[in-house]
Structure 1
Amino acid sequence: MKYPAPLKKGSKIAITAFSTGIAKEHEARYQCVLAYFKSQGFNVVEGECLRGQQKHVSAPAQQRADELMSFLLNDDIDAIVPPWGGELAMELLPMLDFDALTKAKPKWVLGFSDVSTITAVLSSKLGWASAHCSNLMDLTSNATESLTAGTLACLSTPYGEHFSQSASAKHTRSWPNIAEDPEAVLQPEIPTQWRWLVKPEKGDTIEGRLIGGCWDTLFHLFGTDYLDLDSLSRQHPEGLVLFLENVEMSPVDLVRTILNMKFRGVFSCINGLLLGRCAVVDSDNEDDLTYYEVLERHLVGLGIPVMIDSDIGHVPPNLTLINGALATVELHDGGRIHQQLIA
């Protein structure tokens, strides 16, 4: 793995929306975020593909791809940060010149949701570490939730060092109304409990190289040249820990997705599976399939440990998970993850 330089005062941060852009009603929030980043001593460069949400995206696909490539190839840039995810980052993948990027300095690319469509691929194809974490628009100076507030500190970890995070005390299914209150922050109110769906045969931990992101988008990439876990696992004999979270897939959609992954041998390539909380609310109809029923029916017999309800994704808060880091995930005293930034 190739790790970008740790973020520090003077780091140059490029902001571009390679999926969904910033709407007018969110401009004030964006300015709060900018003020926070500048207070940390970062030099901020804004891209042209940033504001606007026409047809789900900030700009046409080629324009977004060209801007992303220009930042990825610019070795004065230390990190590339989209405001948030969206729907159609996948359009950019065939337009990225991965051969040219092998000669570029690794940069941090960070965020969750559709951001992970890009970050997981950069880690898989180029061996660049990347970060699945709170999105740019979550990062303000007044953030009170500890996982969110600690995001930039995790990304300041030097190569060869490590950091640890504990499970959140509480989470929430409600996002702050940043259009009405630009300084609004998360207000977690539901007790968090990471738990085993399938416990390890020995001990109480999962170990391996982290890779993952948004389940809804990444399952389309498994087994392709963009996200070849079989090849990645052969490169890293310590094995892989796949982390995923469901945003919009209904229980029946999720059944098809898991079966698709079984058919393609995805689960045979990993040491364990780490799942975030599901953002889809189950139907009130007792005859309908539920999310947890799907997990019980289709993940229990895989022969690997499966941890669920972790701090990953669209039911915040979010851990900072480094694609490519060597991780130990343990479940006692609430849950903890330890990540080493080593090759």
Structure 2
Amino acid sequence: MITYPFLKKGATIGVTAPSSGVPVNLHDVVKQACSRLEQKGFQTICGETVWTQDKAKSALAITRAAELNAMLSDAEIDLILPPWGGELLAEILEYINFENIKNKWVLGYSDTSALLLAITLKTGIATAHGTNLVDIRGEYWDETTAMWENVLSTPSGGSVLQHSSPLYQKEWQHDNPSPCVFHLTEETRWKTTSSSTVKISGRLLGGCVDIIRHLVGTPYGDVQSFRKQHIPGEPIIWYLENCELSTTDLRRSLVQMKLAGWFDNCSGLLFGRSSANMPVENYTIEDVYLDLAEDLQIPIVYDIDCGHVPPQITFINGAFAEVEVEEGKGTVLQIFK
């Protein structure tokens, strides 16, 4: 059984930096994002870690964990939303009080995905892989990103449908600000390794491969125990995205996940667009996907709206999903059961 938080009207959002904080020259970006949320009726509370950054992290691991634990156990905070990802969230996992987590949403991606997956696997509480705080600082939100609010406001037992984006952003243009933050210029096309039509269903789990691969073999990546306790007998759909890995490093990581049993009873895999995926010799990303499809004998869908090439769909770890892809377009129906 999965426990689903619910984002109420006028919710209080806790902003903390369990990985990277924000350097002084970018503090205004955080203040602008909080202001946008407050204009929409939310309340925001920023922790001290948000405003500091040194040696690739916002603060010492114990300090980051203490602030996060305080927000996770605070019944007045409805959603935890880090400013962005980073590099060293893994350092805090051993200090998190998983048994004290109240039923609330945690939303983010990149390095944050290790926290999201660990919470769901350890507790059965659903977590949300989607936008981070600084990406919703714009004058308006594109239709794909904006769905985070609808998804998190779906009641337990309800369902929510999301569509593939019309356009995606090819590259960041920080010196050319856009009213919605992103520069959405390229036509989105979801691709598959097999037929042009794919229909799969199962429980969603996933995140950034660069990060969540480090949970394999630890108490925070115990997929088998999660299956037995929370989703016995049900298939999993893994959604994954690559931030910085070469094709061979990605392949090694996927093989490791397979050997660890993460892909047992898997109905399909979804891969986000990536600006990484650099070929090694002539081993391309398409080769990686074809090898994985051959290994697992399941559909592989790629170039979906997930990860570091925005915009992105809000995927709920633990939710039951029905994913359909046809002629380059996709839908994700998530059912909170």
- Which TM-score band (shorter chain)? over 0.9
- Say whether 1:216 aligns with 2:213: no
| Amino acid in the other structure paired with 2:137 | T
In 2, are the aligned partners of 1:134 and 1:151 still within 8 Å (CA)?
yes
Which consecutive aligned stretches of 4+ in structure 1 deviate over 4 angstroms post-superposition? Answer: 179-184
1:8 is aligned to 9
Change (3 A) 1:176 1:132: farther
Equivalence for 1:162: 159
Structural mapping, 1:181-330, within 5 Å: 181=177, 185-198=181-194, 204-234=198-228, 235-236=230-231, 237-280=233-276, 282=278, 287-330=281-324
Matched-pair contact (CA < 8 Å) for 2:164–2:331: yes
Conserved 8 A contact 1:69-1:96: yes
Give the 3-state SS of the residue equivalent to 1:14 in structure 2: strand
Alpha-carbon shift at residue 315 of structure 1 (Å):
1.0
Give unpaired runs (5+ residues) of structure 2.
Answer: none
Match of 2:48 in 1: 48
Name the amino acid aligned to 2:38.
K
264-273 or 303-312: which moved more? 264-273
**Counterparts of 1:269 and 1:116, CA distance in 2:** 22
* Cα deviation, residue 240, structure 1: 1.3
Q: Please report how far the alpha carbon of residue 182 of structure 1 lies from its aligned counterpart in structure 2 after TM superposition.
A: 8.6
TM-score (norm 2): 0.92
Contact 1:233 1:240 in 2 (8 A): no
TM-score, scaled relative to structure 1: 0.91
Letter of the 1:224 partner, please give it: T
Q: How does 1:27-42 map to 2 (within 5 A)?
A: 27-42=27-42
Cα shift at 1:153: 2.4
Contact 2:141 2:180 in 1 (8 A): no
Deviations along 1:257-276, one digit per CA (max 9) or x if unpaired, are: 12222322222242221111
- Corresponding residue number in structure 2 for 1:75: 75
Aligned equivalents of 1:65, 1:180: Cα separation in 2: 36
Task: Please tell me the root mean square deviation across aligned C-alpha atoms, in Å.
Answer: 2.1
Residues 264/238 of structure 1: CA separation in 2 closer, same or farther (3 Å cut): closer
- Secondary structure (helix, strand or coil) at the match of 2:220 reads coil
Residue aligned with 2:64, SS: helix
Q: For the structure 1 residues 276 and 291, does the alpha-carbon distance in structure 2 shift closer, same or farther, using more than 3 Å as the test?
A: same
Residues in 2 aligned to 1:93 and 1:227: alpha-carbon distance in whole angstroms: 11
Provide the rounded CA distance (Å) in 2 between the counterparts of 1:247 and 1:144: 23
- What residue number does 2:330 align with? 335
Specify every segment of 5 or more residues in structure 1 that has no aligned partner in the other structure, as ranges.
none
Check the 8 A contact 1:240/1:269 in 2, yes or no: yes
Question: Taking every aligned residue pair, what percent have the same amino acid on both sides?
Answer: 36
1:115-154 deviation line (CA, Å, top 9, x unaligned)? 1110111111111111000111111352352111232222
Retained in 2: the 8 A contact 1:233–1:269?
no
After superposition, the Cα gap between the structure-2 partners of 1:21 and 1:180, relative to the gap in structure 1 and judged at 3 Å, is farther
In structure 1, the residue matched to 2:103 is 106
What is the CA–CA distance in structure 2 between the aligned matches of 1:232 and 1:298, rounded to whole Å? Answer: 24
